[in-house]
Chains A and B, each alone.
Chain A
Amino acid sequence: MKKRELICIGCPMGCALTVELEGNEVVSVTGNTCKRGEDYARKEVTNPTRIVTSTVKVANGVLAAVSVKTEKDIPKGRIFDCVRALKDVTVTAPVHIGDVIMKDVAGTGVNVIATKDVGI
Chain B
Amino acid sequence: MLNYDIVIVGGGPAGLAAAISAKKHGVERILVLERDKELGGILNQCIHNGFGLHTFKEELTGPEYAGRFVDQLLEAKIEYKLNTMVLHISEDKVITAMNREEGILEIQAKAVILAMGCRERSRGALNIPGYRPAGIYSAGTAQRLVNMEGYLPGREVVILGSGDIGLIMARRMTLEGAKVKVVAELLPYSGGLKRNIVQCLNDFDIPLKLSHTVVDIKGKERVEGVTLAQVDENRRPIPGTEEFYSCDTLLLSCGLIPENELSRELGVEMSPVTSGPLVNESLETNIEGVFACGNVLHVHDLVDFVSQEAEAAGKHAAEYVLEGKKAVGREIPIIATDGVRYTVPKTINPMRMEEEHVIRFRVGDVYKNCYVSVYFGTERIIHRKRPIVAPGEMEQVVLKKAQLLEYASIDTITVKLEME
The residues of A with any CB-CB pair to B shorter than 8 Å are: 6-9, 11-14, 33, 50-55, 57, 63-65, 67-69, 76, 79-80, 83, 97, 115-117
Are A50 and B203 in touch, CB under 8 angstroms?
A: yes
Interface centre among A7, A12, A69 (most CB of B within 10 A): A12
Please indicate the chain B residues that have their CB under 8 angstroms from the CB of A33 in the complex.
387
Whether B175 and A50, one on each chain, are in contact in the complex, defined by CB atoms closer than 8 angstroms, is no
| Known A-B contacts A55-B150, A116-B44; A67 and B61 likewise in contact (beta carbons under 8 Å) | yes
Stretch touching chain A among B103-111, B192-200, B376-384, B401-409: B192-200
A54, B195: Cβ atoms under 8 Å? no
Q: Judge whether B231 is part of the interface by a CB distance below 8 angstroms.
A: no
Residue among B47, B193, B389 having the largest count of chain A Cβ atoms under 10 Å: B47
Given A12, A68, A76, A117, which contacts B67 in the complex, CB threshold below 8 Å? A117
Distance of B328 from chain A, by nearest CB (Å): 39
Cβ contact within 8 Å between B67 and A14: no
Known A-B contacts A63-B148, A97-B64, A97-B67; the reply to A53 vs B387 at CB < 8 A is no
B: which residues have CB within 8 A of A?
44, 47-49, 59-64, 67, 146-150, 175-176, 193-195, 197-199, 202-203, 387-390, 392-393
Whether A76 pairs with B175 at a CB distance below 8 angstroms is no
Chain B residues in 8 Å Cβ range of A50: 199, 203
Q: Which of B59, B64, B176, B390 has the most CB of A within 10 A?
A: B64
| Chain B residues near A8 (CB-CB < 8 A) | 194
A-B pairs with the 5 shortest C-beta distances? A67-B47, A116-B63, A9-B195, A115-B61, A14-B194
Kindly identify which residue among A12, A13, A79, A117 contacts B175, using a CB–CB cutoff of 8 Å. A79
Q: Are A116 and B64 in touch, CB under 8 angstroms?
A: yes
Q: Please name 4 further chain A to chain B contacts, defined as beta carbons within 8 Å, in addition to the given A14-B197, A50-B203, A116-B63, sorted by A numbering.
A: A8-B194, A12-B390, A97-B63, A97-B67
B61, B203, B389, B392: the one within 8 Å of A53 (CB): B61
A-B contact pairs, 25 of them (CB 8 A): A6-B198, A7-B198, A9-B194, A9-B195, A9-B198, A11-B194, A12-B389, A12-B393, A13-B387, A14-B194, A53-B49, A54-B47, A57-B150, A64-B150, A65-B147, A65-B148, A65-B149, A67-B147, A69-B47, A69-B61, A79-B175, A97-B67, A115-B47, A115-B64, A116-B67
Contacts A12-B194, A50-B199 known; A83 to B148 CB distance under 8 Å? no
Q: How far is the CA of A67 from the CA of B148 in the complex (A)?
A: 8
Query: Shortest Cβ distance from B19 into chain A, in angstroms?
Result: 19
Smallest CB separation, B235 vs chain A (Å): 22
B78 to chain A, nearest CB (A): 18
Within 8 Å CB of B393, what residues of A? 12
* Smallest beta-carbon distance A120→chain B, Å: 14
CA of A33 to CA of B385 in the docked complex: distance in angstroms? 15
Contacts of B199 in A (CB 8 A): 9, 50
**Which A residues lie within 8 Å of B148 (CB)?**
63-65
Q: How far, in Å, is B81 (CB) from chain A's closest CB?
A: 17
Contact B197 A7 (CB under 8 A): yes
CB A58 to nearest CB in B, in angstroms, measures: 9
B388 touches A12 (CB 8 A): yes
Q: Determine the chain B residues whose CB is within 8 A of the CB of A65 once the complex forms.
A: 147-150
Residues of A within 8 Å of B198, CB to CB, are 6-7, 9
